[in-house]
Structure 1
Amino acid sequence: MHVHHGARRSDATRVTLLTEGTYPHSHGGVSVWCDQLVRGMPDLEFDVVAVTGTGHEPVVWELPAQVSRVWSVPMWGAPPEGEPPRGRARRRLAHSYERFLAALLDPCAEDGFAPALYTMARAAADGSLSPFLRGDRAVSVLASVWNRPGLVVREARPSLHDALTATGLLEHALRPLTAPVPSDGVTHAVSGGVAVLPGLAALERYGTPLLLTEHGVYLRERYLGYRTAPYRWPVKAVVLGFFRLLAEETYRRAALITPGNRYNRLWEEQGGAAPESIRTVYNGVDPAEFPPAGPEPEGLTLSWAGRVDPIKDLETLIRAFSLVREQLPDVRLRLFGGTPRGGEAYRERCEALAAELGHADAVTFEGRVDDIKDAYAAGTVVMLSSISEGFPFTLIEAMSCGRATVSTDVGGVREAVGDTGLVVPPRDPAAMAAAALELLAEPGRRAAMGEAARLRVIEQFTLRRTIDTFRAIYQELPDLDRTVTPAPEPVRSLAL
């Protein structure tokens, strides 16, 4: 789906945002960040290449005039149009695909990943990659590669079903290579992973500089997600091998990497990024839009805001709340935020857990709220229970509203909070409950923490600072030498 919005201004710097599952087709923290970035630079020109689910997702953000075009690239809708290659072209593509798969499965063959990827990118541009990957030849190539003597994956006895499954997953993951690639300006991937593919293709084909911003660590989240994925090990080895080598190629080739916290920087350096190519840029909020929340609610209340998703680990929060309620029977837990399509089963599981623990009457799922400030004002203490985060908007928004917080020690949370809130280990209901009880028992301490939290946001995490930093980066990157010097050989600690 292509959305055209306004006329292009030839004198404006062109930025092509690369997104996956976020702006402008869904709400959430990264989408808010994208909208703020675009609106904060009305003099620049933006396009968006958005990786979506089916391609039928509506645009849910009102696009400002500086967003000229939106291309939706569906990963799970109808396959891209095109014809399979024939003759010599088919043999060349099969050879590159074999080299690509060998890189995913054999540590000694990883140097073949990038050349094979860019050959496949050219095949995707002419419409032949997806039809090839949906054919029998691609399946037979995989079956041949992972049964080579000496490969660890061979010991798991991969089946034909495994080969069909893994080939299908790769075909979907590579569909973003069919997106149009900009020949000028800057590409800005707002996450790692498959959203970066058009940016890498543009860099290889035209030398278009690639900027990568990681809010969370995409590779780490894939590792977490595939722990419970319903696939056998051979399939996971192929798919996670792809995500790992894609991350390393992105870290090596990006002109600049702007993690949202210092924790992400560790993954990026271990993945092969040159330290001088990394510049931490924190998320920011407008303190005027998130003023002090005012009086606390009449009854003791824990509030949470976000999307209902396993990575937010609401089960740990509900278990912690159960322990809190053993000491304070009248306390409530209010959960604000929408449930993404496909996430209904997780919400039902959380609701069932609350009922099983005997707290269905005190745990309420409020859904999306018109004004997110209401979610923070509703809490005596604002909670964050995630197992993975970048530099979470909900946390700095709650801090700007002057609320004391209890958060899990993931990503950039500790960098955000400093000493203005309590930080506990992830997946530890007892520690979370103890911290919540500590703050619920001390209104004076809560008030002091809330005041300090708002001051910390004003001093360090304002939206204006974030926008000014990215404006300077956008103007800087096109002037850089487009010849990318390979980074040192990556440390293999990111491997499975």
Structure 2
Amino acid sequence: MHAVLGQPPSRIAQVTLLTEGTYPHSPGGVSVWCDQLVRAMPDVDFRVTAVTATGREQPVWELPSHVRAVESIPMWGAVPRGKEPRGRDRRAFLSAWERLLTSLLAEGGRGGDGERAGTDELFGPALYDLADWADAGTLSAGLRSEAAVRALAGLWRRPGTDVAAALPTQYDALTGTDLLEHALRPLAAGAPTGVAHAVSGGLATLPGLLAHHRDQVPLLLTEHGVYQRERYLGHRTGPYRWPVKSLMLHFFRLLAREAYRHSALITPGNRYNRRWEEHGGADAGRIRTVYNGVDPAAFPLAGPEPEVPTLTWAGRIDPIKDLETLIRAFALVREEIPEARLRIFGGTPRGGEDYRARCEALAAALGSAGAVSFEGRVDDIRTAYAAGQVVMLSSISEGFPFTLIEAMSCGRCTVSTDVGGVREAVGETGLVVPPRDPAAMAVAALALLRDPVRRAALGEAARLRVIDQFTLRQTIDAFRGIYTGLSPAEPRTGQQYGGVTWMSRVRRADTAAGSGQRAAAEGTA
């Protein structure tokens, strides 16, 4: 899986990967994808700008020598240092802040395409103006000020806002301003060099958008999942009142549109994502679907099945994976096959402990505690696929899941929920069921557990499908060509990107006044 694939010489100089909550600090499918991409191109200098939780996370991936630097942008760590703007600067700062808020509140109106265009015209310029204050080291302090909170509270009270009937409170304004302050922290990241490649939508795109705006750095956007859709799913059960949810969802929607408008190329991992991107405003002419791939030699046939009827699942323990539906389905399976087992492989990310406990409690309540095992992370993921007759996928949102095509490459048949690019991956080689439907999932699992001949035929067809359509070689060749096409004829240097060309009016004034440059967060890999 980590073998370096031989490649021809390339004129690609530098690529900056922009990530959020994934590579190189977390496991998971997107991180696997990044690692494969990086290792397959040893002739390219990579840098990584990673949006993380606290900034104290250690890499869980061994980084090759051509990953020249990693910058961590903490979202919830220590409050960035800096002083609130004063005097004339304070008025200019609040003007930019109010324009951003106005775009978010107008986005919630019921106007037509003309109003939508107006919000786009407000959002982008206001966002880039606020980036100047991030350069000066004053953005976070300014957004934590009483004046910033009052600005949001005042705008919410204007007639016509879609949340006025919800009677937003001062606490709502404080919460909304705080969440936006955290969301805008990536504006203070170092300047991407070469091609800025955002491997998700949302906050990871902010440094790339800023580099494109300031110096026409080409921005490449690869969405493995539908970031905007996942924000909607997450906010359904969020702890905030509707005014705050509305504010943040409008922010993520406008940020997605800004990224779609300014990306040189958008490379979704499946056609399902492509449809979402087109609906969100992306130009169809700048979208190219590039499927995830695996190396079939690294995922050979799994070998003999276990003697006990067993379902397996692999991934991270997370609500979006909907393990509760899987556990309920398994309880129905055990009613028909009492000796059946469910083995769940994968780590529990920080903050997910309560969800895992809830899943364990559900298994116990359904009388399946002794038949459901949480195995944790394994050194070799192939162990998970070989451990059962059928590999399950129960997610409510996916892109083009690695666990699915890896299991297929191993010759295991699958039962998967009909989300994202699952149908594109599986074709006719596995069973696909509606999400959040334990009964349908149980029926599919039982059909395969009871029919070894069908299982074997589907597993063989699945491996052949991977070899034909979803190999790592195809993925790498596609992105090598994309990088080559987007790379500047004369690659710019990190010094050029970070120097005078990028110094805004605010930053020049700040430097002239003798204040210190913001501390560099890069650490060489």
Using structure 2 for the length normalisation, give the TM-score.
0.88
Q: Note the C-alpha offset of 1:479.
A: 4.9
Aligned to 2:77: 77
Aligned to 1:3: none
Q: Which among 348, 358, 361 is matched to residue 370 of structure 2?
A: 361
Aligned to 2:49: 49
1:312 paired to 2:321? yes
Is the CA contact (8 Å cut-off) linking 2:195 and 2:217 kept in structure 1? yes
Q: Note the C-alpha offset of 1:12.
A: 5.2
- 2:427 maps to amino acid: G
Aligned to 1:31: 31
Query: After TM superposition, where is structure 1 displaced by more than 3 Å over at least 4 residues in a row?
Result: none
Q: Which among 343, 352, 360 is matched to residue 351 of structure 1?
A: 360
Distance 1:238 1:281 in 2: 33
Distance 1:57 1:391 in 2: 26
Distance 1:147 1:102 in 2: 12
Q: Note the C-alpha offset of 1:89.
A: 2.0
Distance 2:291 2:136 in 1: 39
Q: Note the C-alpha offset of 1:128.
A: 1.4
Distance 2:318 2:377 in 1: 14
- Structure 1 residues 69, 11: closer, same or farther in 2, change over 3 A? farther
**Segment of structure 1 superposing worse, 228-237 or 108-117:** 108-117
1:286-335 CA-partner distances (Å, limit 9, x unpaired): 00000000010111000000000000000000000011111000100000
Aligned to 1:137: 147
Distance 1:304 1:60 in 2: 22
**Segment of structure 1 superposing worse, 124-133 or 414-423:** 124-133
Aligned to 1:462: 471
SS in 1 for 2:25: coil
Aligned to 1:442: 451
**Segment of structure 1 superposing worse, 143-152 or 408-417:** 143-152
1:369-424 CA-partner distances (Å, limit 9, x unpaired): 11100000001100000000000000000000000000000000000000000000
Aligned to 2:301: 292
Distance 2:84 2:266 in 1: 36
Q: Which among 159, 175, 178 is matched to residue 188 of structure 2?
A: 178
Aligned to 1:127: 137
Is the CA contact (8 Å cut-off) linking 1:80 and 1:178 kept in structure 2? no
Aligned to 1:426: 435
- 1:136 maps to amino acid: E
Distance 1:60 1:393 in 2: 18
Q: Note the C-alpha offset of 1:78.
A: 0.8
Q: Note the C-alpha offset of 1:11.
A: 7.3
SS in 1 for 2:163: helix
Structural mapping, 1:266-305, within 5 Å? 266-305=275-314
Distance 2:403 2:11 in 1: 36
Distance 2:201 2:90 in 1: 30
**Number of aligned residues:** 472
- 2:138 maps to amino acid: S
Q: Note the C-alpha offset of 1:478.
A: 2.8
1:18-70 CA-partner distances (Å, limit 9, x unpaired): 00011111111101100000000000010000000011101111110110000
SS in 2 for 1:152: coil
Is the CA contact (8 Å cut-off) linking 1:203 and 1:209 kept in structure 2? yes
Q: Note the C-alpha offset of 1:83.
A: 2.3
Structural mapping, 1:19-418, within 5 Å? 19-107=19-107, 108=115, 110=119, 111-182=121-192, 184-418=193-427
Is the CA contact (8 Å cut-off) linking 1:18 and 1:188 kept in structure 2? yes
- 1:366 maps to amino acid: E
Is the CA contact (8 Å cut-off) linking 1:303 and 1:376 kept in structure 2? yes
Distance 2:475 2:199 in 1: 14
**Segment of structure 1 superposing worse, 113-122 or 279-288:** 113-122
Is the CA contact (8 Å cut-off) linking 1:354 and 1:360 kept in structure 2? yes
What residue ranges of structure 1 are gaps of 5+ in the alignment?
1-9, 481-496
Is the CA contact (8 Å cut-off) linking 2:13 and 2:487 kept in structure 1? no
SS in 2 for 1:48: strand
Distance 1:138 1:195 in 2: 24
Q: Note the C-alpha offset of 1:242.
A: 0.4
Cα RMSD for the two superposed structures: 1.5
- 1:149 maps to amino acid: P
Is the CA contact (8 Å cut-off) linking 2:311 and 2:391 kept in structure 1? yes
Distance 1:405 1:299 in 2: 17
Q: Note the C-alpha offset of 1:81.
A: 2.4
Aligned to 1:15: 15
Distance 1:11 1:286 in 2: 25
Q: Which structure's relative contact order is higher, taking Cα pairs within 8 Å and 6+ residues apart?
A: 2
Distance 1:153 1:325 in 2: 48
1:109-149 CA-partner distances (Å, limit 9, x unpaired): 51311110110112112211111001111101101111101
Distance 2:460 2:11 in 1: 45
Distance 2:232 2:45 in 1: 35
- 2:446 maps to amino acid: L
- 1:30 maps to amino acid: V
Structural mapping, 1:467-478, within 5 Å? 467-478=476-487
Is the CA contact (8 Å cut-off) linking 2:411 and 2:459 kept in structure 1? yes
SS in 1 for 2:46: strand
Distance 1:76 1:153 in 2: 27
Is the CA contact (8 Å cut-off) linking 2:12 and 2:487 kept in structure 1? no
Is the CA contact (8 Å cut-off) linking 1:336 and 1:365 kept in structure 2? yes
Using structure 1 for the length normalisation, give the TM-score.
0.94
Aligned to 2:515: none
